[in-house]
Structure 1
């Protein structure tokens, strides 16, 4: 899709369309750049000309969106593009337009409202009638849907059942470990039900329907009320409208909830495509989440005060970016670790920031090997890396002491999980930043591979933590080219995780590992070299 540029008069450039204020006033706009002169004469704030939303090709399979895919916001006219101070341009398939950042500078997301909470009167008010015993979770909210204003098409039995399934099953797979304070249940569900837009709610319904349909024992009827693509297509349509409003209007009492709902919708759609194993579409949503995160945290813009929901969503976007960035190449646009401040510090926060720093350093060094100081001093040797990872592990252990697990013996396994990621982080960092041909480095990597395998065996309740093991298992598999038994271990465990969680995103990663295990070491030095080569051919995989 080509960019729409304004028609440039030799004497004065003009925008390609009327400004939104003139549209609302139903008068002819003079389309002056950078803003409309008619607005200036009336002392009105001209919003500019930047937003156009279209749909790319190929995702929707039925209905009004047949043949269409993701909402795309086209860039502003050339004169407006030249004036922006914002982020790099995204490809047309990425539907967040960074050029609108100029407009967002004047808008704060802080409305002084409290974060979304669940009233006690609404907890356990609704119980599903279908197979509650099969999907029972003691931490579920069981919200009373009659307490929320929903359009008629979202008031039927399928919606109740899908929300019940998300509440009891899907939400358990989203955080490190399920608990009474699981924000994917406690924040996301009320946000979806209270939002003026239904985009997030529809995305959650699509996610739940897709996840349930991936189960081998699926029993739900296959009609429109339980078809994931129907909810997804409608969510995308409303998301486009939400983007137009959120990026184009002034601050209002609902602005913060709307901004949160947009990022929340994108994150849910990311997870939906992980179930579908659609890496290409997942990457589009991922880049959109990156862009919104930068809009909220850009250092050259006035600081934005984010409420609890916004902070949670920002941290979720960062988590996805850390894991996604570590195994994807050719796009060095990672969210910097500085987006998380000390107020965001919690279990795994320091570990995530450290891994992101390692990824950014490795990419910078690969892009410019001759440049000096591409790798920070505290990441340049084994000793300093070990010190930083030990500090991150100590901090995670400290924060875990105040974590409300809501169940007995879960804390033991969580401490084991912290150790697993500690060893896996060392494997990744030693390989990424040090000379893997050095016998000492090679021995250290092998030691940590063995530590990951041994520590995984110490988990007592695998059902609680199996979904967390994908990244460590990949790192183990990536270091097992010459060890068949470790290859079998990694492959078996990854298949177990996918069977248990219902997410099939491991298949491209497992296919990659199998291709890597067959390579000639004299031709392909390591897994990163192969991944880089394949990324240039359009082959990508994500490990999350």
Structure 2
């Protein structure tokens, strides 16, 4: 499938904004919120600036999309009906105060009529060819059943992608487009049914995100305060869309790392720009920030870019309840120290400079992080079954993969060979002991990559790693992982077994390694 050229989501991207919404008569309508406030709407897309500055919810223009029974927060959307549209509320000429729309009933009691031919889906005007409700619902069900679980450490009823992100997509067309894009692409990869819809939805979502960013940056250039320009809801849907699009790019092609990295950098820029504003009380923003932190820190271990490494998004300060947050903080410290020690002042011999940590220091910090992760995971109250046993193994897998990364990246092999061998042995043992691969496969790309860097010349281990990565790519539907396997096979076949140097060459040639 030939995908259209990738549109960048970098701040300030020069892209053409989508046309303003219009009514069936060709005249653009004010958003219902401005209508109720009896003020002139500026009609900006995707949200009007007047609503954003007041922290009000802007439902958009013209007909509004609403789910008949709401998006399921648990399960797999079983029994849900298709979406329909309702007309925007207009003020009565004889009424002193404009009427408010009726309150939405609970999903359990609401009875909703089916859509009629006279009502036009607002997304159809923004994105001609947008799939009909039945296809839309099927793609959302596929996301719920087959993708949301791949985005978190442990899939459970507390999965925020089902509990919070899917309902948000009901209110935000751009996020909905991004979710439908990755769902359509994943479905095409796993069923071999090609369609151009996913790429078109991706490009439409990127264009609308870029348009919103251009509006915000233009207002900032005029001296407006960021907190008044981006409300929490806007920041959340933009961040969720960027992360979803990054995942889409890795599913779309083996060479999707560069496009995915552009979305990651844009998401990082957005989070850093909002660092001084108050977002602490928004659970979804904090969750997405920590999701970006996982992606950012693991990607930094193989990016070999000083700006990318030093500017990585760290876990939120109060991260005691987030799985692997302490581990990721330690890993990022090691990556930064490695860059400062081995990639800075070339006039000084590396052996003369003193490393801030010893191997024993690194092992002690990883041990503390392991305990913190197990305590945080206890909040999920997993039953004592294969999934729980596998998660404990995953914690061990990351522990020893982190040590091996540290030994090679920070200490450059100047460490006791027995320590390296011991961690490699446990790493391969734990990987071979996993019982339910389907429930933990999403956690394996990075540690299996590290395992692959430690098995050159060991044919049995090379075959084991190759089979794991092929299974990861096939079952998860992410073609990008095949590029990681290609890198490992190159490493195994070359005389120099320094994976760091080979990864630098890959990055220099425009093929960055992103084992995330």
Distance 1:383 1:120 in 2: 58
Report if aligned partners of 2:401, 2:427 keep a CA contact under 8 Å in 1: yes
Tell me, in whole angstroms, the C-alpha distance in 2 between the residues paired with 1:375 and 1:296.
36
**Residue 352 in 1 paired to residue 289 in 2?**
no
Separation (CA, whole Å) in 1 of partners of 2:141 and 2:166: 10
- Give 1:70's match in structure 2, choosing from 4, 8, 13: 8
Cα separation, 2, equivalents of 1:290 and 1:280 = 15
Task: Please state if 1:146 is matched with 2:91.
Answer: no
Check whether the contact 2:7–2:207 (CA below 8 A) recurs between aligned residues: no
1:237 equivalenced with 2:207 (yes/no):
yes
The one of 60, 63, 70 aligned to 1:122: 70
Distance 1:229 1:399, change over 3 A: same
TM-score computed with the length of structure 2 as normaliser? 0.73
Report the Cα distance in structure 2 between the residues aligned to 1:72 and 1:354, rounded to whole angstroms: 28
Contact 1:60–1:233 (CA under 8 A) maintained in structure 2: no
In the alignment, the residues of structure 1 paired with residue 398 and residue 157 of structure 2 have an alpha-carbon distance, to the nearest angstrom, of: 24
State how 1:193-208 maps to structure 2 within 5 Å. 193-195=170-172, 198-208=173-183
The alpha carbon displacement at 1:291 in A equals 1.0
| Match among 503, 507, 511 for residue 539 of structure 1 | 511
Give CA-to-partner distance per residue, 1:262-290, whole Å, 9 cap, x none. 11111111000111231221121111122
Residue 341, structure 1, aligned to residue 317, structure 2 = yes
Instruction: Give CA deviations for 1:207-245 in whole Å, capped at 9, x if unaligned.
Output: 000000001x346xx666xx2112112112211222234
- The structural deviation recorded for 1:142 is 6.7
Change beyond 3 A, Cα 1:311–1:112: farther
Distance 1:487 1:462 in 2: 19
Q: How far apart, CA to CA, are the structure 1 residues paired with 2:479 and 2:13?
A: 35
Partner of 1:188: 165
Change (3 A) 1:465 1:109: farther
Counterpart residue number, 2:446: 471
Residues 188, 264 of structure 1: 8 Å contact kept: yes
Distance 1:367 1:254 in 2: 37
Tell whether 2:363 aligns with 1:393: no
SS at match of 2:157: coil
Q: Is the 8 A contact 2:175 2:237 kept in 1?
A: yes
Assess if the C-alpha contact under 8 Å between 1:351 and 1:393 holds in 2.
yes
What is the root-mean-square deviation of aligned Cα atoms in Å? 3.4
Deviations 1:479-530 (A, max 9, x none): 1122122111111111111111111221221111111112223xxx611012
User: What's the secondary structure of 2:307's corresponding residue?
Assistant: coil
Structure 1: state its 5+ residue gaps.
1-58, 62-66, 77-107, 126-136
Alignment match, 1:509: 484
CA positional deviation for 1:109: 10
| Count, aligned residues | 419
**Cα contact 1:362–1:375 (8 A) shared by 2:** no
SS of equivalent to 1:347: coil
Tell me how far apart the structure 2 counterparts of residues 390 and 148 of structure 1 sit (CA, whole Å): 54
CA drift of 1:122 comes to 3.3
Q: 1:141 to 1:244 in 2, by over 3 A?
A: farther
Deviations for 1:345-388, whole angstroms, at most 9, x for unmatched residues? 421111111111111111121222539998873xx212111110
In structure 2, the residue matched to 1:85 is none
Asked whether 1:284 is paired with 2:241, we answer no
Does 1:316 pair with 2:291? yes
| Aligned residue in 2 for 1:295 | 273
Q: 1:371 to 1:145 in 2, by over 3 A?
A: farther
**Contact in 2 for aligned 1:329/1:532 (Cα 8 Å):** yes
Take 2:283 and 2:78, find their aligned partners in 1: how far apart are those partners? 19
| Cα distance change, pair 419–242 in 1 and its aligned pair in 2 (3 A) | same
* Residue 518 of structure 1: aligned partner: 493
Q: Is the 8 A contact 2:68 2:81 kept in 1?
A: no
**1:123–1:257 Cα change, 3 Å:** closer
Output the CA distance in 1 between the equivalents of 2:494 and 2:280.
50
- Indicate how the Cα distance of structure 1 residues 481 and 230 shifts in structure 2: closer, same or farther if over 3 A, else same: same
CA contact (8 A) 1:275 1:502 kept: yes
Report how far residue 124 of structure 1 moved.
5.1
Distance 1:293 1:344, change over 3 A: farther
Give the conservation status (yes or no) of the 8 Å contact 2:396–2:430.
yes
Q: Secondary structure at the match of 1:520?
A: coil
The alpha-carbon distance between structure 1 residues 152 and 310, as it changes in their structure 2 partners (threshold 3 A), is closer
Residues 1:302 and 1:493: Cα distance change in structure 2 (over 3 Å): closer
Q: Are 2:437 and 1:462 aligned?
A: yes
> What aligned pairs does 1:318-467 form with structure 2 within 5 A after superposition?
318-334=293-309, 335-336=311-312, 338-343=314-319, 345-369=321-345, 370=348, 377=356, 380-405=357-382, 408-438=385-415, 440=416, 442-467=417-442
TM-score under structure 1 length normalisation: 0.69
Are the aligned partners of 1:141 and 1:167 in contact in 2 as well (CA < 8 Å)? no
Q: 1:144 to 1:365 in 2, by over 3 A?
A: farther
Displacement of 1:248 in angstroms is 4.8
- For residues 24-81 of structure 1, the C-alpha deviation after alignment (integer angstroms, 9 at most, x for no partner) is xxxxxxxxxxxxxxxxxxxxxxxxxxxxxxxxxxx963xxxxx5723565499xxxxx
Contact 1:420–1:455 (CA under 8 A) maintained in structure 2:
yes
Residue aligned with 2:274, SS: helix
Question: In structure 1, how many angstroms separate the alpha carbons of the residues matched to 2:383 and 2:83?
Answer: 28
Of 137, 158, 164, the residue aligned with 2:141 is 164
- Asked whether the 8 Å contact 2:232–2:279 carries over to 1, the reply is no
Counterpart CA distance in 2 for 1:468 and 1:68 is 28
Distance 1:358 1:145, change over 3 A: farther
Whole-Å separation in 2 of the counterparts to 1:376 and 1:112: 52
Q: Which has the higher contact order (CA 8 A, sep 6+)?
A: 2
